[in-house]
Amino acid sequence: MPNVVDDIVAEVAALCRENRDGAVADYIPELASVPADEFALCIATTDGYVYESGSARTEFTIQSISKPFTYGLALADNGPAAVAAKVDVEPSGEPFNEISLDPVTERPRNPMINAGAITSAALIHGADVAERFERIRRCYSRYAGRELTMNDAVYHSEAKTGHRNRAIGHMLRSFGIVTGNPDDAVDLYFRQCSIDVTCRDLALMAATMANNGINPVTHERALATEQIERVLSVMTTCGMYDAAGDWVARVGLPAKSGVGGGVLAVLPGQIGIAVYSPRLDAHGNSVRGVQACSELSKRLELHFMHVTRAARSAIRSQYTIAEAPSRQRRTDTERTTLSQFGNRARIYELHGDLLFAGAETAVREITDHGDDLDAVVIDIRRIDDVSAVANRMIADMQAALNDRGCRTALVDPDGMLGRTTSSVLIDDPDGRVFVDIDAAAQWCEDVVLDRYCFVDRQPKRVDLARHPLLATLTSEQFERFALEIERRTFTRGEVVVRRGEQASGIHFLLEGQISSTLTDAQGRTRRVATLSPGMSFGEMAQLVAEPYLYDVRADSAVQLAVLPAERFADLTASAPGLKLALLERLAAGAYAQMDSAIRSIALRSGGF
Amino acid sequence: MPNVVDDIVAEVAALCRENRDGAVADYIPELASVPADEFALCIATTDGYVYESGSARTEFTIQSISKPFTYGLALADNGPAAVAAKVDVEPSGEPFNEISLDPVTERPRNPMINAGAITSAALIHGADVAERFERIRRCYSRYAGRELTMNDAVYHSEAKTGHRNRAIGHMLRSFGIVTGNPDDAVDLYFRQCSIDVTCRDLALMAATMANNGINPVTHERALATEQIERVLSVMTTCGMYDAAGDWVARVGLPAKSGVGGGVLAVLPGQIGIAVYSPRLDAHGNSVRGVQACSELSKRLELHFMHVTRAARSAIRSQYTIAEAPSRQRRTDTERTTLSQFGNRARIYELHGDLLFAGAETAVREITDHGDDLDAVVIDIRRIDDVSAVANRMIADMQAALNDRGCRTALVDPDGMLGRTTSSVLIDDPDGRVFVDIDAAAQWCEDVVLDRYCFVDRQPKRVDLARHPLLATLTSEQFERFALEIERRTFTRGEVVVRRGEQASGIHFLLEGQISSTLTDAQGRTRRVATLSPGMSFGEMAQLVAEPYLYDVRADSAVQLAVLPAERFADLTASAPGLKLALLERLAAGAYAQMDSAIRSIALRSGGF
C-alpha cells in the first residue's frame, strides 16, 4: 500500500506539472527533440528504497550532472592535492561555459563549470581515451547500481558542435592545466556527458553519495568517504551554475543540475533526490527540478541548516549505586556501608549519537562530579554511533579521573569504543569494560566496599550450621533438617540448574559464587543475580513445584547443600513446623530480592 | 579541572601561534596599530559554556563580521521577500569592496560584500541614524549576551577615510537600491563595523546562531529560527569573501570573517567558534583564524558534510504481545487465544530523533506488516525530538492502518506528538495514546480477544465459592476459610493498600478491577499489574509479614473478600492443612506473575 511519502511525492509532482515555464536546451538537435513536459521525481533512501513518480524509467543524457562524479574519480586517481593544483573550488559567479580562468590562480574556478570539468576528465587515469572512458562509465555504474551506457547520437552531435568546449580545452592546454592532447580531454568530457541515465538512476547515485559513497542496493563502494565529503562541499557552493547561493538559501542541499533536464540533490546520511524535467531556466537549471527540490526541502524539512533543536548532553540519566544496587546479595554490614557511601559511585547512561557536542557536555558534567566519586561507570549501551573525537574524549576523561583516584568502567557489550570486555572476576588495571550494567554496578559496590567496609564482608565459605537462612530454626529443627541434606560440588562454568527444568530442591550455597542468568530478546545472556556463600536459591520454584525461571551457573568452584525436592515435599507430613519455618525465612529473602529488582528496574531508564 | 576539550583547544592554539604569515589591515591607522600576534580562540556550546584560550577578553572591532547580524535584522524588519528585492544571495567571485552590482539583476550580489551590507543597513527600521544604530547595537548585544558599545576612534577614522564605501552608497542610490540618503546608510554601516567585541563575545554570538537564534546564556531570542537558517545559508556560500568554496571544502561550517582579525563559525545545533588574530591573508581573512577553524573542524569532526553513518530506521525493536504479554492477568481461554493470535498485535519501539529519513524507514516497515495485524502500538518514549513531517507521517500511517481494520495506539507519556493521552478504560475512537507500554499492551490484548475469543472471558464478578484460587480447597477447608473472611468495598480511585504499609491480609477480588502501581525515578506512576475478579493480591507480603511493595488502587467500584492478617497467622496453629493449601496455590500464582514480568522485561529493550 502507498505510504505517506508517496502522497507527498504525488502532491509535489502535481504542483510542478502545472509549471510550464522555461525552454528545452536546443544547442544540439538531440537535446531539443525531447518531450518538453516530461516529468519524473524520485527519492532514494540510504537503505535502497526508491519512491518513484512520473516517467522515472525514461532515459536522458546525464550532461553536467556527470561533473561531480568525474571530479570524485579524479580525486581518487590523483589525490586531493594534485587535483587542487589543477582546479579551484570557488563559486565563479559566471556562466558555466565561460572561456576563462581565475585571473589570479590561472586555474578553472571550480570543477562544476565546463573548464573545471574538462580538467577533471583530463586527470582520469588510463592508457587511452577508450580505457579512460570505460573507467568513468564503470564508476558511474557503481553509483547507479546498474550498467550505464553511452548515447551515441547525443555524443556524436555534441562532438560535432562543441566548439566552445574545444576552445576551453585549448585554453586549458595553453595555461598548462591540461598537459596531454586537449581534444582527447574534451572528447572524454563529451562522452561522459552522453551517458544515459533515468531519474531513478540519478536518485540512487545521489543516495550513494548520501550513504558515504556506498551504493545502498549493491553495497559496492563507488568513492571513499573523505572524497565524497569534498565532492558534496563543491556541489554546495558551485553545483547549481550561478544560482548556487539562491539554491543553498532555498533548498539547502548539495546538488548538481544538467542541461538534459536532470537535477540531483543529496541530504548526507539520509536520502538522494532526483528530478527530470527538460525545460530550463536562465541559469540552465531545470525549472521544475528547482521547484520540486525546493518544495520537498520545505515539506520534508531537509534544509541542511535546519536544526530542530540544539545539541543536548549525551547523558540520558544518572544514578548512584545507593539508589540502584546491583543484584549481588550483600551482608548486613556491606549493605549499611553501601547505603552510607554508595553515592560515591555513579552510573551515567549515555544515549544518541556520540559526536563532539554531545560528548563535550557529558564529559564536562562527569568531570565536574569527579572529585566526589570513587567510581564512575559510563553505560554506552544506548549509544548508536561514536565519532573518533568523542571516543578520545571518553578515554582522556577516564585517564584524568583515574589520576585523581576515581576508578572508571564502561558498559559496552557491543565493543562500540573498541576496547576489550572484562570478566567481573578479573581485575583489569586499564579501566574495565563490562557487558551488562549489573556487573558494572557490582564492581562499583566492590570498589566502595574495599574503601569503606573492613568488617563482616561476605565470607568465603560458611558451614551449614552457620548458614544465615537456617538461623531461625530450633536446634531440633536443624538436626532434623541436616538429615535430609545432600552435598553437591560444581566446577567453574558448570550448569547447576537450567531454565525449564522441574524444581529439584532448595540449594544452600556454602562456598564459591553462582549466577542466575536469562537469555534476552537479542540472544544475549543477562545476569539476574549473583549469590555468595550464605545465600540460597530454588526455594520459590520448589514451593510451587514449577520449572526454573533461570539458568544457574557456577562462577567459581562451588559447594552446595541441597534439600531435594521429594524430601522437601515429604516435610509437609513429617515435619510441618520445620517446613513452615523454612518457608517463611526463604520467602522473606525472595521477597526482598523482588523489591530490590523492582527498585533498580524502576530507576534505570526504560525499565518498565 | 581542565577537560579534554581544553587540551584540544590548547593544541590548536599552540599550532596556530607558530604561524606568522599575513599582515594586519592598514587602511586606517586604528586597525594598523593592534598587536599583530595577538591570538584568541573560543568555543561556546549551546548550553552556554565557553572554552577560552589566549586573549579571549581583548576587544577589537567587529568589522565585516557585523554583516550577517545586520542582514538578519533587515530580514526581521522587512521580511525575506522585500530584502531579496534589494540584495541577491549569490557568491560573487569578486573582492568584498567591489564597486559593482550584478549586471543582470542590478542588485548587490550578496549581503556579505560591502554593497550588500550597506543595503542591509539601509533596510534597518528607525526614525534616524541614531535610533537605527541603537537598534543594531541592541540586536548584536542580544547575540553576545552583554551590552556592546561602539569604538569611537575606529568609527571616526573609518568615517574620515571611507570613500570607497561612500562611492558604493551613491552607486546603490543611483540604481534605486538605497532609497534614502546614501550617506546615512554608509554612516550606519561604519558605526556597526566599529562595535567592539571580544573573541568570547563572538563565540557566544556564533553559539546563539547555532542555538536557533536564542542566546544560550540569557535565553533571550536574537532572531527567529527561519531567519537564522537563511543567514547561515548565505554565510555558507558568501561568508569568507572570495575564498568561500575553499572554506566549505576545508572547514565546512557557515562562517564570517572581518578585517579586524576575527573569524566566527557556526555548527548549527551544536557549537559556535571564534578566533581573533589580526594578520590577514590575500582574501582579507585572518590567517590563523582560517587555520584554527580548519584544525578544529578536522579534530572535532565538525564538517557539515561529515556523516558518521547513514540514517537508520527509527525502529529500535519490535515484538508481538504473544512474546511480551501485558501484566493484566487473563483466564486460561484468554491466554490460549493470546498465544494463538497474539502475533496479530505488534509493538514498535522507536528511538532517536524522528526526522524525515528515520520516520520514512519506520513507516515503510510498519505499513508493510499492516495487512497481517489487528493492532499496532508505536512506542515513542525513546524519541528525543520529532519533526513536523515525521509527526504527519505517523498520523497518516495510523489513519491508513485504521482504514484497513488495524487499530493503532501510541505510547507517548510526554505528549511528544501533541495528542491527548487516553485512559485504558475509556475507548477513544481517534487512536489511543497511552502513558505506559503495559496499558498499551493490555489494549492490544483486548483488541485481539474481542476479535478471536468468545467464551470464558474474564467474568465481571465471581462468588467467593467460585473464586478460582480457592478451587483446590476441600469443602471442609472452604467452610473453615469462609468463617475468617471480611467483605470490603471501594469506589473508583480509592486506595486499597499503600506501599510501605504492613501487610493487612490476603485479598480476593470478587468484582471490579484494581491496579498495583509504583512511582519511578522520574516521579511517574507506573502500573505493575491489573487484576480482575477471580484474582488475589497481598499473599506474598502476608506470607513474609513484610510491608507492601506497591500502591493498590481501585480502577472501578470494587468488592473484595479479605482474610485479615491476624486470622491468617492464627491458621498456622488452628488449621495448618488449610494454610499450606492456601499458600501453595497463592505462591504458584505469584510465581507465574514473576515469570511473565521477567519475560516482558527481558524482551523490551533496556529492561535489565
Q: What is the pLDDT of residues A374-419, one digit of tens each?
A: 999 999 988 878 888 888 889 889 888 988 889 999 998 777 887 7
Provide the annotated binding site of B for substrate.
64, 114, 158, 165, 189, 241, 259
> In the prediction, which pLDDT does A608 show?
33
Q: Does the model's ipTM exceed the 0.85 cut?
A: no
Question: Which residue numbers of A belong to the known binding site for substrate?
Answer: 64, 114, 158, 165, 189, 241, 259
Q: What is the DSSP letter of A361?
A: H
Percentage of chain B beyond pLDDT 90 is 51
Q: Do B606 and A211 touch (CB under 8 A)?
A: no
B47 contacts on A by Cβ (under 8 Å): 310, 313, 361
Mean pLDDT for B100-113 is 90
pLDDT (tens digit per residue) in A261-307? 999 999 998 899 999 999 999 888 999 999 999 999 998 988 988 87
Question: Average pLDDT of chain A?
Answer: 87
pLDDT at A310 over 50: yes
Q: Which residue has the higher pLDDT, B460 or A194?
A: A194
Per-residue pLDDT, averaged over A176-191, amounts to 95
Strand partners, A221: A214
Contact list, B267 vs chain A (CB under 8 Å)? 357
Q: Which residue has the higher pLDDT, B420 or A171?
A: A171
**pLDDT higher for A466 or B1?**
A466
Q: What is chain A's length?
A: 608
Q: What is the pLDDT, as a whole number, of residue B594?
A: 58
Distance CA A395, CA A413 (A): 17
Q: Which pLDDT band holds residue B399 (cuts at 50, 70, 90)?
A: confident
Phi-psi category of residue A183: left, alpha or beta, with phi > 0 → left and psi -120 to 50 → alpha = alpha
Of the candidates A241, A478, A546, the one whose C-alpha atom is nearest the C-alpha of residue B588 is A546
pLDDT for A421 equals: 54
Residues of A with Cβ-Cβ distance to B312 under 8 angstroms: 384
pTM for this prediction = 0.78
Of B319, B356, B520, the CB nearest to A521: B319
Instruction: Point out the residue among A90, A521, A527 whose CB comes nearest to the CB of B246.
Output: A90
Query: If pLDDT is split at 50, 70 and 90, which confidence band does B423 have?
Result: very low
User: Confidence band (pLDDT; 50, 70, 90) for A593?
Assistant: low
What mean pLDDT do residues A123-143 have?
97
pLDDT higher than 50, residue A426: no
Backbone angles phi, psi at B149, to 5 degrees: -130, 165
Give whole-number Cα distances, B121 to B137, B138, B141, B142, in Å.
12, 14, 17, 18
In a 10 Å sphere around its CB, with 0-12 CB exposed, 13-18 middle and 19+ buried, how is residue A345 labelled? buried
**Average pLDDT value for residue range A208-226:** 95
pLDDT confidence bin for A11, thresholds 50/70/90: very high
How close B412 comes to chain A (CA, Å)?
A: 13
Count of pairs with CB atoms under 8 A, one residue in A, one in B: 360
Cα separation, A351 vs A384, in Å, equals 7
| pLDDT (0 to 100) of residue A589 | 62
Q: What is the mean pLDDT of residues A541-570?
A: 85
- Tens-digit pLDDT profile for residues B490-505: 999 899 999 889 888 8
Nearest to A12 by CA among B389, B225, B387: B389
Whether residue A406 contacts residue A375, with contact meaning beta carbons closer than 8 Å, is answered with yes
Q: What is the mean pLDDT of chain B?
A: 87
Each residue's pLDDT tens digit, B548-566: 878 899 988 999 999 998 8
CB A258 within 8 A of CB A16: no
At the top level of CATH, which class does the domain A315-452 belong to?
Answer: alpha beta
Condensed to tens digits (0 to 9), the pLDDT of residues B147-200 reads: 999 999 999 999 998 899 999 999 999 999 999 999 999 999 999 999 999 999
d(C-alpha A430, C-alpha A409), whole Å: 9
Query: Which pLDDT score is estimated for A306?
Result: 81
Within 8 A of B583 by CB-CB distance, chain A residues are 543, 583
Least confident of A75-89, B96-110, B414-428: B414-428
Look at residue A578 and tell me whether its pLDDT is greater than 90: no
Q: Where does CATH 2.60.120.10 sit in chain B? A: 464-603
SS (H, E, C) B521-580: CCCCEEEEEEECCCCEECHHHHHHCCECCCEEEECCCEEEEEEEHHHHHHHHHHCHHHHH
pLDDT score of B568 more than 80: yes
Contacts of B232 in chain A (CB under 8 A): 305
- The answer on pLDDT for B608 being more than 50 is no
Whether the pLDDT of residue A351 is over 90: the answer is no
Does residue A142 have a pLDDT over 90? yes
C-alpha cell at position B77: 524588519
Residue among A210, A356, A602 whose CB faces B300 most closely: A356
Cα three-residue angle B71-B77-B81, rounded to 5 degrees: 75
Quick one: pLDDT band at residue A588, thresholds 50, 70, 90?
low
User: Mutual orientation of helices B182-193 and B66-78 as an angle, nearest 10°?
Assistant: 130
Q: CB–CB of B109 and A93 under 8 A?
A: yes
pLDDT bracket for residue B286 (50, 70, 90): very high
Confidence of residue B426 (pLDDT cuts 50, 70, 90): very low
- Give the per-residue pLDDT at B417: 85
User: Would you say residue B605 has pLDDT above 50?
Assistant: no
Q: What is the pLDDT of residue A188?
A: 97
CA B271 to chain A, closest CA, distance in angstroms equals: 7
Q: Could you tell me which chain B residue has the CA closest to the CA of A370? A: B1
Cα–Cα dist A122/A184, whole Å: 8
* Confidence grade of residue A254 (pLDDT, cut at 50, 70, 90): very high
Where in the sequence of chain A do the CATH 3.40.710.10 domains occur? Answer: 4-300
pLDDT at B529 over 90: no
- pLDDT tier at A357 (50, 70, 90 boundaries)? confident
pLDDT bracket for residue B99 (50, 70, 90): confident
Is-contact A385 A353, C-beta < 8 A?
yes
* pLDDT tens digits along B111-157: 999 999 999 999 999 999 999 999 999 999 999 999 999 999 999 99
Q: B245 and A268 in contact by Cβ < 8 A? A: no
For A41-62, what is each residue's pLDDT tens digit?
999 998 899 999 999 999 999 9
pLDDT at B607 (0 to 100)? 37
Residue range A69-92: average pLDDT?
Answer: 95
What per-residue confidence (pLDDT) applies to B7? Answer: 87
Q: What's the pLDDT score for residue B584?
A: 67
Tell me the three state secondary structure of residue A482. Answer: helix
Q: Which of A25-29, B41-45, B95-99, B419-423 has the highest mean pLDDT?
A: B41-45
Which amino acid type is present at position B601? I
The distance of A157 to chain B (nearest Cα, Å) reads 31
pLDDT at B332: 82
Q: Which conformational region is residue B213 in: left (phi greater than 0), alpha (psi within -120 to 50 degrees), or beta?
A: left
- With cell 557456577, the residue in question is A554
Window from A421-425, B359-363, B398-402 with minimum mean pLDDT? A421-425
Q: Which CATH number fits domain B464-603: 3.10.20.70, 2.60.120.10, 3.40.50.2300, 2.40.50.100?
A: 2.60.120.10
Looking at domain B4-300, its CATH superfamily turns out to be DD-peptidase/beta-lactamase superfamily (3.40.710.10)
> What is the reported pLDDT for B313?
76
Q: Which residues in chain A have their CB less than 8 angstroms from residue B437's CB?
A: 608
Numbered ranges of CATH 3.30.750.24 in chain B: 315-452
